[in-house]
Amino acid sequence: MDRTNGNNVPAFTTDPWVRSAWIAFFTLFAIWGLSYFIRHAFGKPDAYNRGNPNTTGAAAVDDPEAAAAGTDKKGRWGLHHDTLSDRFARSHHVLRDNTLMLLSVLTLNTFGAGSTRAVMILAWIFFAFTVIHALTELAINHHFIRLFFNLLFYALTLAIGGLAFKYGWYTHGSIF
């Protein structure tokens, strides 16, 4: 991209790499919307108001004393036996949080007319790992898995933001 004319956002947004990065965002947004529907379509009526997606439905509704004491039924290896509704809620939260993170850094990159191809590649990597993490949340409830994925997402968003500032935010050859 020619940077001699300064920050040219309209020309930047016509770049096919930039378009593809935003397609990754929109695809993630569409999956987030689908999870929003699925979460409410197949969840229990009390799941939306419960507040804590890790508390089992039986403890929250059937046994108020256990719910007040904060005791959860734990199975083998101390993992929670959670409902399908809890799993969909966790997956939905992953999709929501990552959609907003990707929106933030893509907006920063686009308004700054930053990197094109590298950001597109990172956006699709971010998308792929978000889908994997959302599916993992449907199957496994473990904090080390969340830690790994969240460190990965943080690193990817820092990389996209760094590229936005490294290659963008120029006005006639100067940042001021």
**Does residue 2 belong to any structural domain of this protein?**
no
Which residues make beta-bridge pairs with 171?
174
Query: Which of 30, 64, 81 is the C-terminal boundary of a domain?
Result: 81
Q: Which residues of the chain have pLDDT under 50?
A: 1-5, 47, 49, 55-71, 75-78, 172, 174-176
Check residue 58 and give its pLDDT: 45
Identify whether residues 160 and 123 lie together within a single domain: yes
Question: DSSP secondary-structure letter at 76?
Answer: G
Identify whether residues 54 and 115 lie together within a single domain: no
Check residue 123 and give its pLDDT: 94
Check residue 113 and give its pLDDT: 83
Full domain range(s) for residue 95: 15-43+83-176
How many structural domains are present in the chain? 2
Q: Rounded to two decimals, what is the model's pTM?
A: 0.68
Tracing tokens 């990597």 back to the chain, one arrives at 125
Q: Identify the CA nearest to 93 among candidates 59, 159, 47, 26.
A: 47
Q: What is the pLDDT of residues 69-87, one digit of tens each?
A: 444 555 444 455 578 888 8
Q: What are the tokens at 174?
A: 């100067």
Distance CA 105, CA 157 (A): 6
Check residue 172 and give its pLDDT: 46
Check residue 129 and give its pLDDT: 96
